[in-house]
Amino acid sequence: MTPHTRSSPAPILGTVLVVGGCGFLGYHLVHHLLADDECGPVYVLDRKIDANRHVGASYVLGNITDAAALSALIGKIQPRTIFHAASPLAYLPRRREHEFTETNITGTECLLAIAATSDAVDALVYTSSVDVYSNPPHDRVSETHPLWASGARTTEYNRTKAIADRLVRAANGPRLRTVCLRPGHMYGERHTQGLVEVLEMCEGGRKLFRVGNGENLMEVASADNTALAHLVAAKALIDSSRARGKVDGEAFNISDGAPVPFWHHIGVIWKVARGDDALKDVAVIPAWVMIVAVYIVGWLFWILTLNMVQPPTALRRTALEYCIYSHTYSIQKAQQRLLFEPTVDHDAVLSQSARWLLDRQQYSRVSTPKKD
């Protein structure tokens, strides 16, 4: 008898393993799993387990690429559901870009191989990203839009996440049911990537500036909405009556369902850092000026460092594209099949997130001993 023909035990998700559960999304995902009556014991596997922890979850130090240790762990805890949320941050120094291949490709292949041969594992939910979609700008892109090719000239994050997305969907079968979720730009408490850089713009009374007309939209996904989508998708994989239509082997865009202007998003953060008057004196840089600057800086770094060092994050092509282009994605498929209904409270949640990070930075400055 295969795992999917036996009667479903209670709770439906059974024992759960969250790979990458100490990251930003992982923290929120574990929080929601622990609060869900349909979830059994929660285990977290991560390379660093000294932060973003919850009382009630069991934490295991390890690496997704360590096949022997991963196999032993799955054999020991017998998870019915696996969430794969492990990935390096989108922006890494050139010397560390090998980590994208190691985690997003090799690690994903390793996890899929072990899960597919386990008698316990029924469902695997992979955290992909809307950044897997090729050639922005994007306007209400659906899941049928082409992904970056394996040899595409884009960021290593985008390229390797697109490969992993394909691997996970291709691994779907009668022994292991898989699904890929593609969140928009995530935000929420404990978010740091991108938020740190925006807050740095406010330090020392620096002049704030906007690029372009400020009308370009960005698809946003709160961590809570994204975590809840993961739970809904996992339950639908195990019990098809929880969905309306095919879920296994599919991909779903996930977001708040309410795109916001990119510069409104930035402005909310600025106001937390500098107060309500922060937006009264913002300089505007024409888009074409920034385009020229980014390309010149990119070529200079490529020539002078032999492509070993990348430009500052704010002067990279990906950052430029978010500053001037729209990136919106339809969640109609998730709403129809997964019955996913997000809640929308962007400004309040983002403000809270920015305040949390500012408080954390202030605490670090106060608690760090001064050197003689």
Domain map of the chain by residue range? 16-190+219-257+328-343
Of 206, 167, 161, 200, give the one whose Cα is nearest residue 183.
161
Taking alpha carbons only, the member of 334, 133, 125, 143 closest to residue 225 is 334
pLDDT of residue 7: 45
Counting as low any pLDDT under 50, the low residues of the chain are: 1-8, 372
Q: What's the rounded Cα separation, in Å, for the pair 12 and 30? A: 16
Question: Which residue bears the tokens 């899929």?
Answer: 112
**Residue in 127, 149, 177 with CA at minimum distance from that of residue 20:** 127
The DSSP annotation for 284-329 comes to EE-HHHHHHHHHHHHHHHHHHTTTSSPPPGGGSHHHHHHHHS-EEE
Instruction: Please calculate the CA angle 101-60-191 and round it to the nearest 5 degrees.
Output: 65
What are the pLDDT digits (tens) for 289-336? 988 988 888 788 878 887 777 777 777 878 888 899 999 999 999 999
Torsion angle of the four alpha carbons 342, 343, 348, 351, in this order, in degrees rounded to the nearest 10: -20
46 three-state secondary structure: strand
Q: What pLDDT is recorded for position 9?
A: 53
- CATH domain 16-190+219-257+328-343 topology: Rossmann fold (3.40.50)
Q: Write down the pLDDT at residue 365.
A: 65
Amino acid 370: pLDDT: 54
Question: What is the pLDDT at residue 364?
Answer: 67
Residue keyed to tokens 């406010």? 202
- What's the predicted TM-score (pTM) here? 0.91
pLDDT at 371: 53
Q: Dihedrals φ, ψ of 43, to 5°?
A: -115, 145
Q: What is the DSSP letter of 366?
A: H
Q: How far is CA 239 from CA 1, 316, 338, in A?
A: 17, 44, 12
pLDDT of residue 288: 87
